[in-house]
Amino acid sequence: MAKLRVTFTFVGVQVQEPVIWQLSQKFAVKTNIRRADIKDDIGWVTLELEGEEEVLNQGIEWVRSTGTEVELVTGDVIG
Amino acid sequence: MAFATALKCRECGREYPTDPLNVCEFCFGPLEVKYDYEAIGKTISRDRIQNGPLTMWRYEDLLPVDAANAVDLQTGFTPLIKATNLGRVLGLDHLYIKNDAVNPTNSFKDRVVSVAATKAMEYEFKTLACASTGNLAGSVAAHAAKAGMSSYIFIPSDLERGKVVGAAIYGPTVVAIDGSYDDVNRLCSELADTYPWAFVNINMRPYYAEGSKTLGYEVAEQLGWQAPAHCVVPSASGSMFTKIWKGLNEFEDLGLIPKVNTHMHMTQAEGCSPIAAAYEAGTTRVRPVKPNTIAKSLAIGNPADGYYSLKVIEDSHGDATIVPEEEVVEGIKLLAENEGIFTETAGGVVISGLKRLVERGAIKRDEVTVAYITGNGLKTIEAVEELVKPVHISPTMAAFHEQIPNP
């Protein structure tokens, strides 16, 4: 099982969509929310995702396909 | 001795031992080194600093490692140059250039890597690692060589040959990764979780970042123990920007300098300006971008310290400037032709950003201003090589006079 700490950013109408719930329904990915800030037009949620690596990758691709931005919580590590 | 007492989460405040950690296990917020400032205050003084080595290690009391075992290439205490020529061109009477391009591997990264490598040795790591597009790679490989550690350098597979050589010469294992920027970032995070390596800007990040504070200390000391009115700084992750501010404020809190009234001005290139864009939009939420800039050393699309940089701008009554891509090379030329300093593209961003700040009245003629130059121009020679147009002649006086009639 692989774990990944990420931040989802929702913009516009995406804020109202149950993306995290859908992710766990569509893929065998465990979601564990740690921090969040949701406003009318933008919101972000920091969470840990856990699952088989391939399933995790598919899940992230699906989240991105909804228009949600997915980034590592550590930020870019290339210096 | 080191006065670091703990790691503290910048979001929820939870504290951790000074271990190789970079995020809070509870809220995933970033961790920062916490110090015993009371004890530091009883030890540190201007005299003690001035009697220290002519390197960044003169500020050992404010670094989170034991300086007696520092992995040191003689980094820091770089020149602060009164830029009279450039000042005249821009309309500034007290302009200074902090020339950090003269560090051992020709960039400010030696400051952060020196601290990270020292901490890695304290933890008895055998391997130093990083992901890099240039400056960090060379610095990590060089410090690993000095420390007798092995090193792994991960680079995007399309990195310019010169930058690969600049790191490979020190003997690291260089791994070129095929894939997008996101792929490289993610792979390196996973590698850091998997192998017992000191990844300088992942599990060593809280210590690594502290090295940049010395850019604040040095400028204050070199200005005669006072903070400047303005700092103009290039930003990628935003870490250095926040640490210069932290350094100045630590000096004030310890009574080493008078009150800090410095305005912190961030500069980013248009092709990767997520923090400056958030500033312009009036939000503290930084939206990640896909970098597309010639200022490759600033190409961090998802900046870890974006939010904290915006807080520094707010606290210091500073601002952020987006420099159009076509002005980056102009900035490089302006500095080279007026001050004899050849900087990389990040420096071009700073000088063009400075010009814009003066033009819009954010910096006044009589105010002490420091522009931070953090890397050497030879690192990004491809950005300016089209400007080089030598006059070709045959080896005769007649040919010379034909091409250059009035030498």
What pLDDT shows up at residue B238? 96
Instruction: Output the tens digit of pLDDT for each of chain B's 407 residues.
Output: 589 999 999 999 999 999 999 999 999 999 999 999 999 999 999 999 999 999 999 999 999 999 999 999 999 999 999 999 999 999 999 999 999 999 999 999 999 999 999 999 999 999 999 999 889 999 999 999 999 999 999 988 877 787 889 999 999 999 999 877 777 888 888 898 899 999 999 999 999 999 999 999 999 999 999 999 999 999 999 999 999 999 999 999 999 999 999 999 999 999 999 999 999 999 888 888 988 999 988 989 889 999 999 999 999 999 999 999 999 999 999 999 999 999 999 999 999 999 999 999 999 999 999 999 999 999 889 899 988 889 999 999 999 999 999 88
Nearest to B61 by CA among B82, B38, B40, B42: B40
Neighbours of A64 (CB within 10 A): 13
What pLDDT shows up at residue A27? 98
Rg (CA), chain B: 21
User: How far apart, in whole angstroms, are the C-alpha atoms of residue A8 and residue B168?
Assistant: 37
Residues within 8 A of B (CB atoms), A 29-58 only: 34-35, 37, 42, 44, 46, 48
Contact in structure between B149 and B206 (CB atoms under 8 Å) = no
Whether residues B123 and B193 share a domain: the answer is yes
At A39, which CATH number? 3.30.70.260
Whether residues B156 and B240 share a domain: the answer is no
Lookup: tokens for A59: 């899940």
Residue with tokens 């009245």: B361
> Which residues contact residue A65 at a Cβ distance below 8 angstroms, ignoring those fewer than 6 apart?
none
Nearest to B384 by CA among B296, B323, B322, B294: B294
Q: What interhelical angle do B135-147 and B161-168 show, nearest 10?
A: 10
Whether residue B139 lies inside any domain: the answer is yes
Give me the interface pTM, i.e. the ipTM: 0.90
Domain closes at, from B208, B228, B245? B208
Whether residue B342 lies inside any domain: the answer is yes
User: What is the DSSP secondary structure assignment for residue B124, as one 8-state letter?
Assistant: T
At B147, which CATH number? 3.40.50.1100
Cα distance from A79 to chain B (closest Cα, Å)? Answer: 5
Whether residue A20 lies inside any domain: the answer is yes
Whether residue B53 lies inside any domain: the answer is yes
Whether residues B176 and B223 share a domain: the answer is no
Whether residues B171 and B225 share a domain: the answer is no
Question: Cα–chain-centroid distance for residue B138?
Answer: 14
Nearest to B149 by CA among B204, B103, B94: B204
> Which residues contact residue B392 at a Cβ distance below 8 angstroms, ignoring those fewer than 6 apart?
B403
Whether residues B251 and B369 share a domain: the answer is yes
Cα distance from B376 to chain A (closest Cα, Å)? Answer: 16
Contact in structure between B145 and B224 (CB atoms under 8 Å) = no
Whether residues B122 and B254 share a domain: the answer is no
| Structural domain of B87 | 80-106+212-387
Whether residues B279 and B383 share a domain: the answer is yes
B22–A contact, CB cutoff 8 A = yes
Question: What CA dihedral angle connects B120, B126, B132 and B134, to 10 degrees?
Answer: 90
Cα distance from B133 to chain A (closest Cα, Å)? Answer: 6
Residue with tokens 């990944």: A4
Strands (DSSP E) found in B273-390: 319-323, 369-373
Residues of B in Cβ contact (< 8 Å) with A6: none
Phi-psi region of B367 (alpha: psi -120 to 50; beta: other; left: phi over 0): beta
Lookup: tokens for B44: 């540190």
Lookup: tokens for B91: 């309309």
Strands (DSSP E) found in B298-396: 319-323, 369-373
Q: What share of chain B is helix, strand, coil (3-state, %, to 5)?
A: 45, 15, 40
Number of domains in chain B: 2
Whether residue A24 lies inside any domain: the answer is yes
Whether residues B217 and B203 share a domain: the answer is no
Nearest to B140 by CA among B102, B186, B162, B173: B173
Residues within 8 A of A (CB atoms), B 112-141 only: 130-133, 135-136
User: How far apart, in whole angstroms, are the C-alpha atoms of residue B405 and residue B24?
Assistant: 69
Amino acid identity, residue B158?
A: D
Whether residue B39 lies inside any domain: the answer is yes
User: Which residue is closest to B286 within chain A, CA to CA?
Assistant: A9
User: Which residue is closest to A7 within chain B, CA to CA?
Assistant: B28
Query: Element (H or E) spanning B188, and its range?
Result: helix B181-194
Say yes or no for a CB contact (<8 Å) between B132 and A78.
yes
B284–A contact, CB cutoff 8 A = no
Query: Element (H or E) spanning B42, and its range?
Result: helix B37-43
User: Which residue is closest to B192 within chain A, CA to CA?
Assistant: A77
Whether residues B240 and B153 share a domain: the answer is no
| Structural domain of A49 | 2-72
Whether residue A56 lies inside any domain: the answer is yes
Query: Element (H or E) spanning B173, and its range?
Result: strand B173-177
Task: Give the one of B205, B302, B305 whose C-beta lies nearest to A71's C-beta.
Answer: B302
DSSP string covering B330-348 = HHHHHHHHHHS--B-HHHH
Contact in structure between B300 and B237 (CB atoms under 8 Å) = yes
* For chain B, counts of helices (H) and of strands (E): 15, 13
Buried b (16+ CB within 10 A) or exposed e, B276-311: bbbbeeeebebbbbebebbbbbbbbbbbbbbbbbbe
B287–A contact, CB cutoff 8 A = yes
Lookup: tokens for B299: 């190409």
Whether residue B405 lies inside any domain: the answer is no
User: What is the DSSP secondary structure assignment for residue B316, as one 8-state letter?
Assistant: T
What pLDDT shows up at residue B14? 97
Whether residues B162 and B136 share a domain: the answer is yes
B216–A contact, CB cutoff 8 A = no
Whether residues B114 and B192 share a domain: the answer is yes
Whether residues B294 and B327 share a domain: the answer is yes
Cα distance from B303 to chain A (closest Cα, Å)? Answer: 5
User: How far apart, in whole angstroms, are the C-alpha atoms of residue A33 and residue B28?
Assistant: 10
Whether the pTM exceeds 0.90: the reply is yes
Say yes or no for a CB contact (<8 Å) between A46 and B131.
no
User: How far apart, in whole angstroms, are the C-alpha atoms of residue B121 and residue B148?
Assistant: 10
Rg (CA), chain A: 12
Whether residue B404 lies inside any domain: the answer is no
Say yes or no for a CB contact (<8 Å) between A71 and B288.
yes
Whether residue A61 lies inside any domain: the answer is yes
Number of domains in chain A: 1
What pLDDT shows up at residue B203? 94
Residue with tokens 């996101």: B182
Contact in structure between B35 and B49 (CB atoms under 8 Å) = no
User: What is the DSSP secondary structure assignment for residue B25, as one 8-state letter?
Assistant: T
Whether residue A78 lies inside any domain: the answer is no
Whether residue B400 lies inside any domain: the answer is no
Residues of A in Cβ contact (< 8 Å) with B304: 74-76
Query: Element (H or E) spanning A14, and its range?
Result: none
What pLDDT shows up at residue B23? 93
Contact in structure between B245 and B312 (CB atoms under 8 Å) = yes
Phi–psi pair at B287, nearest 5 degrees: -90, 120
Whether residue A38 lies inside any domain: the answer is yes
CA distances from B330 to A43, B93, B134, B318, B324 (A): 39, 21, 22, 24, 10
Whether residue B69 lies inside any domain: the answer is no
Whether residue A79 lies inside any domain: the answer is no
Say yes or no for a CB contact (<8 Å) between B300 and A42.
no
